[in-house]
Structure 1
Amino acid sequence: MSEEQPAAPVVSLRERVKSPPAPAMVESYFGPAVAAGIRFQFEPEMRIHMAHAVMLAECGIVGKVDIARILAVLADLQATGVKALTIDYQQEDLYSYIERHIVETLGPETGGRLHTGRSRNDLHTTSWRLVLRGLLLDLLDVVGTIRRTLIDMAQQHVETVMPGYTHSQHAQPISFGYYLLAAADLMERDYGRLSHALACCDRSPLGSGALSTTGFPIDREMTARLLGFSRLVEVGYDGVSIRDDLQEAAGALAVLMTGISRVATDIQTWNTMEFGMLELDDAYSSVSSIMPQKKNPQAMEHVKAVAAMAVGALNMVLAAAKNTALADVNDGVTAGNVPMLDVLERACRALTVFEGAIRTLTVKPDTMRHLAETGFGTATELADIIVREAGMSFRMAHNIVGRVVREAIEAHHTAMDITSADLDAASQALFGHPLGIPVEEVRKALDPAENLKSRTVTGGPAPVRMAEMLDRRRAMLDSDLAGMADIRRRIAEANHTLMEQARRIMDDAGLQTPSQIVRENHGTS
């Protein structure tokens, strides 16, 4: 029988204080912090621990045998998951449980070496950046899909005439494709804002230490590469005290969701019986428990609700930091993480719903065209015809058409009922002479489809211009998606390199499993 081994010394982060956290502190702060760590940080922290351990070994700061033992415990913990940790929610954060697990497995002499040359300050801000980076990449994927759907549908509806609205009133005829292209351009700019936010958070603060880096000769560039970051947050103080990465992401998300909410409002309006221009698919609708006829536009309402959350998250992130010191402080640096990341996750799901709802819309071209023909949106082109054919100033033509429209409405006529004689009568009354505009020119001006064809200037809804613009949007989207694929490839390759280097260090030491580590460290059989 082997001789009984003495219990390993207890290593605690709280030696500075005499008492454990107050129950109220645990319930209000430490417990939720641990829960948030489990939800968001476990995988990122495991990668950070491995990258830091590999760097310590490669730089000769900690012996490779000790690092091999630490890496083996980390590999086993990563494979088993957070359930391997004994979590009672009494410690300050997830890291406390991970360190305790390593020390209990290896003993404090070996297990306690992992934290050499770093602080929880740079560990945590690096972890949150990894989470934010991953969620921004996911969000960019969804926004890219929405852009593709909008462009594809715009292509299908280049000649689907509908009323264009300003101030909720008929303004000028457009096509549904033109409306969708405007939405696609908004999403393109959102993509750019999110990409910039991604670039801001794609920088490694690891190695910043508590705030002034460390006296150990660490290699910050190595850990940045192993974690797939594009560059460093160079100044240590900057690395642990600034959260403009989170703030910029919150701003980009709020702008994105505000624009999406406006589109959702239009879709919701045009889906009503009074408009009847669109119909949401059953799969994106809900029903009433009492009113059998109801088919509610639930998808659009959901998207708008999440948009409100995004605006609230931006407020929270900015307000939390507003009157705090430029330093590592929980209210300014940490408090915004969970609300913001939670909304990012919700936004990804809600935008997936939005894309599906848009893609499966039933568009009703006949209703759209009828509304465009009868709603006087062609009045601008009618005034333009007078300018071109009669040589009058636009303001004079505007007066003539304004009178004709008023008289038509009073007579319960539609725009299509306006005649050349009506224009002559109004011109005679206002300016003392008729216009003599050919009947065919008047009919052409009143045709919404002809209105579209005449808008051939840059950015106009004419089919020829739409084709050109759609081609350019597809090319830009392909370029944007290729750029994101490159970033994902870089991160995947970095993760592969990290695992390979960790495996090589473990293989060189001949250590594979925690049971081997315990035998090596404590001499048990």
Structure 2
Amino acid sequence: MRERLKNPPAPEFVKYILKPLLEKDAKQSFKYFNNINKAHLLMLLKQGILDKNTVSKIAKALLEVDKRGPQNIDLDPAREDLSSCIEAAIMEICTQEIGGRLHTGRSRNDLGGTVTRMFMRDKYLKTCKQILELREFILNFAAPYTETVCTGYTCGQAAEPITVAYYFAAHLSALERDYERFSAIYKRLNQCPLGSCAMASTTFPINRAITAHYLGFDTATINSLDGIAARDYILEILGTLSIFMNNLSRLCQDLYVWSSVEFGLVDIDSSVSMCSSIMPQKKNPVTLEHIKAKAAHVEGDFVSALGALKSTIYTQVRDASIEAAHSMNDALDEVEASIKLLIATLDTMVINKERMLHEAKTNFCTVSELANTLVRDCGLSFRHAHSTVAGLVAYMLDNELKPNDINRAMVKKLAYEIIGKDISITDEHIRHALDPIPNVFARDVEGGPAPIQVIKQLTMMRKKLEEDKRELTNRVNMQKRAEEELNKDTQEICR
């Protein structure tokens, strides 16, 4: 294997590069290497590159190596990587004369690239399932709160009345887009580079469609140089997960603020909180803190991969093929932890309905509708109505008055002082405009917070969720069928 090189691997090279990678690959990629070996062997037989007798002997050796497991593979750093260590185990069983023929028409470059895509694909599909589970949980969580009125905020200030379900529907919209971005990666990830060989394909009459089919890929990569050079799918996965985690962090920040004593809109359960070693009154919502920080970790993993790939030559280089994927496991683990922690937090979180309604009644979030009422009932332009109500709010705050203290005399007086118009409005219309419950129900337009509109939104989101679940099921089943066919055909050629 290293006949071209005069010296054995340096101890430092072994300690920091070869040995850690061998051990890591043996743990997480042994199955993928063996499946690739099986698929490649079956293709060599079907293409007439190897004869049936040779293929049968190699297949038996492959199954024996499979049976022994990675723990019985000699991870010799002098062989440099796991594929060569597995090849040595195969040749030990069926001789180098026979087993050495398995590597016909391929290279470690396309072999490694295929392993990476298969490993990423399994992790990717698992993450897809987790994101769908989160969407489904939040859908079910939001559904009972279509009439639970609360305050909507802009720029951190009370803005307009909404409902709890409407608020979570907004986050569900973001999560739906997150999943659309993530799902779209699959067609680019699920392309098979096997057969690209070192970088310029091969002179053997291989059939890449056969190996792609056996390994559950939709197609083979179009260009062999691209097949061994491309790692942009790593950036796509990490980039879309960074956006997803960023969206989770924004939800967590809202809940974090809402759980404070000053807001008191939600209560985070003790089971996902921590106490203080010195302040006995504390119940700290730490799961939300961790999720927000984990978003930064995933973003860091994305930047790390981007930096590793930046300015690499477009071919097989280890900073692209090995180092660029270095943080992928960490990122996926952080995403899984964040999803599980958020579900656990929401599952035990209490919505303080009375406090929410009280705040909506007293924080002036309903006065936009008072301005609308002045437009409808008094014939004012919206700009005049806005000026009048803005002056009214300032007057109320200066005099420490609440929205329920507003009456027609105040409105009439201030309208005349501010815009010079004499208007007529009833106390009944003022009270109706300032009541957050009818206020929300009146926002019955597409995309609005009226319960009937939110129910429509949630229904559409549930329909899309079911479509996404079916698509994921089809993708997972395709992998299962491919592996079953691969193992069946490998067993058959051993007979």
Partner of 2:29: 41
Deviates more, 1:413-422 or 1:479-488: 413-422
User: 1:498–1:159: structure 2 CA closer, same or farther, 3 Å change rule?
Assistant: same
Alignment of 1:131 onto 2:119: yes
Of 24, 31, 45 in structure 2, the residue corresponding to residue 57 of structure 1 is 45
Partner of 2:322: 334
Q: Aligned to 2:101, what secondary structure does the other structure show? A: coil
The one-character-per-residue Cα deviations of 1:233-267 (angstroms, maximum 9, x if unpaired) are 12111100111111111111111111111111111
Of 17, 22, 35 in structure 2, the residue corresponding to residue 29 of structure 1 is 17
The one-character-per-residue Cα deviations of 1:374-409 (angstroms, maximum 9, x if unpaired) are 111112111111111111111111111111111111
The one-character-per-residue Cα deviations of 1:82-105 (angstroms, maximum 9, x if unpaired) are 111122555422222212211222
Between the aligned partners of 1:364 and 1:427, the Cα distance in structure 2 is: 37
Of 428, 432, 439 in structure 1, the residue corresponding to residue 427 of structure 2 is 439
The question of whether the paired residues in 1 share the 8 Å contact of 2:298 and 2:334 is answered with no
Partner of 1:180: 168
Partner of 1:277: 265
Alignment of 1:505 onto 2:493: yes
Shift of 1:191: 0.6
Q: Aligned to 1:184, what secondary structure does the other structure show? A: helix
Paired residues for 1:258-407 under 5 Å? 258-407=246-395
User: 1:102–1:247: structure 2 CA closer, same or farther, 3 Å change rule?
Assistant: same
Alignment of 1:456 onto 2:440: no
The question of whether the paired residues in 2 share the 8 Å contact of 1:138 and 1:348 is answered with no
Structure 1 counterpart of 2:106, one-letter code: R
Partner of 2:237: 249
Between the aligned partners of 2:273 and 2:186, the Cα distance in structure 1 is: 34
Between the aligned partners of 2:358 and 2:79, the Cα distance in structure 1 is: 67
Structure 1 counterpart of 2:49, one-letter code: I
Partner of 1:518: none
Computed over aligned residues only, the root mean square deviation of the Cα atoms, in angstroms, reads 1.5
> What 5-or-longer segments of structure 1 have no aligned partner?
1-12, 509-525
The question of whether the paired residues in 2 share the 8 Å contact of 1:30 and 1:91 is answered with no
Deviates more, 1:114-123 or 1:271-280: 271-280
Shift of 1:192: 0.5
The question of whether the paired residues in 1 share the 8 Å contact of 2:76 and 2:85 is answered with no
Partner of 2:403: 415
Of 212, 218, 221 in structure 1, the residue corresponding to residue 209 of structure 2 is 221
User: 1:15–1:359: structure 2 CA closer, same or farther, 3 Å change rule?
Assistant: same
Paired residue total: 495
Structure 1 counterpart of 2:72, one-letter code: A
Partner of 1:4: none
The question of whether the paired residues in 1 share the 8 Å contact of 2:2 and 2:78 is answered with no
Shift of 1:194: 0.5
The question of whether the paired residues in 2 share the 8 Å contact of 1:378 and 1:445 is answered with yes
User: 1:90–1:17: structure 2 CA closer, same or farther, 3 Å change rule?
Assistant: closer
Alignment of 1:81 onto 2:69: yes
> What 5-or-longer segments of structure 2 have no aligned partner?
none
The normalised TM-score by structure 2 is: 0.97
Between the aligned partners of 1:435 and 1:413, the Cα distance in structure 2 is: 22
Between the aligned partners of 1:31 and 1:219, the Cα distance in structure 2 is: 34
Q: Aligned to 1:324, what secondary structure does the other structure show? A: coil
Structure 1 counterpart of 2:95, one-letter code: G
The one-character-per-residue Cα deviations of 1:111-143 (angstroms, maximum 9, x if unpaired) are 211111101111111111111111111111111
The question of whether the paired residues in 2 share the 8 Å contact of 1:400 and 1:430 is answered with yes
Of 125, 128, 153 in structure 1, the residue corresponding to residue 141 of structure 2 is 153
Structure 1 counterpart of 2:435, one-letter code: D
User: 1:71–1:418: structure 2 CA closer, same or farther, 3 Å change rule?
Assistant: farther
Between the aligned partners of 1:230 and 1:68, the Cα distance in structure 2 is: 27
Partner of 1:514: none
Shift of 1:21: 1.1
Deviates more, 1:424-433 or 1:63-72: 63-72
Shift of 1:210: 0.6
User: 1:306–1:88: structure 2 CA closer, same or farther, 3 Å change rule?
Assistant: farther
Shift of 1:294: 2.8
Partner of 1:483: 471
Partner of 1:194: 182
Q: Aligned to 1:216, what secondary structure does the other structure show? A: coil
Deviates more, 1:373-382 or 1:428-437: 428-437
The normalised TM-score by structure 1 is: 0.91
The question of whether the paired residues in 2 share the 8 Å contact of 1:383 and 1:398 is answered with yes
Structure 2 counterpart of 1:331, one-letter code: D
Deviates more, 1:25-34 or 1:215-224: 25-34
User: 1:410–1:28: structure 2 CA closer, same or farther, 3 Å change rule?
Assistant: same
> What fraction of aligned residue pairs are identical, expressed as a percent?
35
Of 4, 10, 13 in structure 2, the residue corresponding to residue 16 of structure 1 is 4
